Amino acid sequence: MKTAEIKFNYHLFDDGALLAPEDFSLLQNAREMTQKAYAPYSSFLVGATALLVNGSTVSGTNQENASYPVGICAERVLLSSAAILYTDIPIQTMAIACHNLNGQSQQPVSPCGMCRQSLLEYEERMKHPIRLILSGMTGKVIVIDQAGQLLPLSFGSIDLH
């Protein structure tokens, strides 16, 4: 038997204002997008904005439904829109912000498992990494160089060949 370890590095900022101006602008847009989320059941608003390699931006918000499995996360709304509006243009960076109306919004929240799988698939499809900027409405910010790092030992298209 062998023991193995999986690690990855990320960047931690005490405040979004410490980001590069382009990243801070993207984060601010994601924070603004939380106001367009539809989350009457959880009161947990999520906004996401992506910068594509061609300079365009695309945004998304979570959309809940009384039939819980029918809802969709902000990240997957964004990925779906980008796939239709900019079919062959990779995403360079995606900022994701959360606003918890029932509690604190000062900590970054990482994408759920389903979104991690979708981000990984998008990276593979476009053959381009997606940088992630994760944040609440204030406070610490996490920057991850490649979304696929969030899903070690992942299942992907190569497993189907």
Active-site annotation holds for 123? no
In whole angstroms, give the CA distance from residue 75 to residue 77. 5
153 class by beta-carbon count within 10 Å (0-12 exposed, 13-18 middle, 19+ buried): exposed
**Catalytic one of 5, 32, 64, 75:** 75
Alpha-helical regions (H) of the chain: 21-33, 74-85, 113-126
- What is the three-class DSSP state of 2? coil
Catalytic residue annotation = 75
